[in-house]
Amino acid sequence: MYRFAVIVLSAAGFVTTACAQSAPACTAGTVAPAPLSLFAYDRGTGLDVRDSRVSTDRGVGVHRVSFVSPKGGRATGLLYVPQDSLRASRRKLPAIVMLHGAPGDAEGMGGIAVPIARQGAIVLSLDAPFARRDRNTPLSFTSRDSVDQVQLMIDLQRAVDVLVERNDVDPSRLGFVGLSYGAAMGAMFAGIERRIGAYALLVGDAGLAAHFKDADLTQFPGLPQLSGAEWCRWLAAMEPLSSAHFIGRAAPARVLFMWGRQDRLVPPELANELYAAAGTTKEARWYDSGHGLPPTAFLDMIDWLAGRIGIAPVAAEERAKFAGGAP
């Protein structure tokens, strides 16, 4: 039976843009997207992959992995490898890069990664740069946030490098799954990475600048209190990294957006802004839920990936168990 993790954004990590209108007025103007050269790196540099199997979950081997980040240090995550019976023919399997929400880390995605691996994909769930320091503190509202986002885009590309170097991965069948913050970052990544053919983006918006553009941080104890000048500097650094600047470049990759109609963390107006920025290879599915999508949404995601990268679809008897939760 499928068991899925439900990951949401807490008020300590993110706030909705609809909650206040008292943020300082920053100088308006056309915002140019960050140049793609900002995310370039030398693919010839060694990855130095370290892989240690740590457990087995429902027949899926779970490995702790790390590799060298071009921006310094080692990127970390978890690798989920399907059971041996799926690999007995020595055929190459599809593979998926996965990114978690915020707060959060790679380990929190196991409830989604394991069911996908059981359908025949090798899954690499990456830790975002903030999660390597402290999974519960995704933002500083300083220049570090934009630096982290650039590093994340490069580390995600290196995660693709790790997968395509494996002799059991079919590089023509690659996907991406992102949840919440992971979906927002995935929408940016879709405009940068050309090797992935299918992006499933669950309850995401256009990223940090869109999410906090009108936020009043004084309403949320524990978040830093910024001066007007500090806020405007932060926003100016983050706006060129908005996913809305990049998602339109995703084609020919297919993009699936999945949202909840009653989501207060990513309300429909933010979802629709990102959808409008996407190109022609997109589709959206809406569910009667909040930020935590119903189990049927994850089954729909698996079936969508099955049609794009060739994992096994959901068995009819499994879907029947959740028949009451259709969108």
For the stretch 134-174, pLDDT in tens is: 999 999 999 999 999 999 999 999 999 999 999 999 999 99
Closest C-alpha to 8, from 264, 187, 325, 222? 264
Judged against a pLDDT cut of 90, whether residue 90 lies above it is answered with no
Q: Which domain holds residue 83?
A: 50-325
Average pLDDT (11-39) is 63
pLDDT tens for each residue of 252-287? 999 999 999 999 999 999 999 999 999 999 999 999
Q: Which distant-in-sequence residues (6+ apart) come within 8 Å of 313 by Cβ?
A: 119, 302, 303, 306, 307
Confidence of residue 193 (pLDDT cuts 50, 70, 90): very high
| Assigned domain for 114 exists | yes
pLDDT one-digit tens code per residue, 198-210: 999 999 999 998 8
3-state SS of the chain is CCCCCCCCCCCCCCCCHHHCCCCCCCCCCCCCCCCHHHHCCCCCCCCCCEEEEEEEECCEEEEEEEEECCCCCEEEEEEEECCHHHHCCCCCEEEEEEECCCCCCHHHHHHHHHHHHHCCCEEEEECCHHHHHCCCCCCCCCHHHHHHHHHHHHHHHHHHHHHHCCCCEEEEEEEEEEECHHHHHHHHHCCCCCCCCEEEEECCCCCHHHHHCCCCHHHCCCCCCCCHHHHHHHHHHHHHHCHHHCHHHCCCCEEEEEEECCCCCCCHHHHHHHHHHCCCCEEEEEECCCCCCCHHHHHHHHHHHHHHHCCCCCCHHHHHCCHHHCC
Residue 29 lies in a domain: no
On whether residue 248 sits in a domain, the answer given is: yes
- 298-313 pLDDT, tens digit per residue, is 999 999 999 999 999 9
Mean pLDDT of the chain: 88
C-alpha 301: how far from chain center: 14
Domain with residue 234: its CATH number is: 3.40.50.1820
Q: How many domains does the chain have?
A: 1
pLDDT digits (tens, 9 = 90+) for 210-244: 887 764 555 445 666 778 888 889 999 999 999 99
Give domain status of residue 125, yes or no: yes
40 within some domain: no
Answer yes or no: is 192 within a domain. Answer: yes
Q: How far apart are CA 210 and CA 33, in angstroms?
A: 14
Whether 122 shows a pLDDT value over 80: the answer reads yes
Task: Please tell me whether the overall predicted TM-score, pTM, comes out greater than 0.75 for this model.
Answer: yes
For residue 6, tell me if it sits in a domain.
no
Which pLDDT does position 210 carry in this prediction? 86
Tell me, yes or no, whether 27 lies in a domain. Answer: no
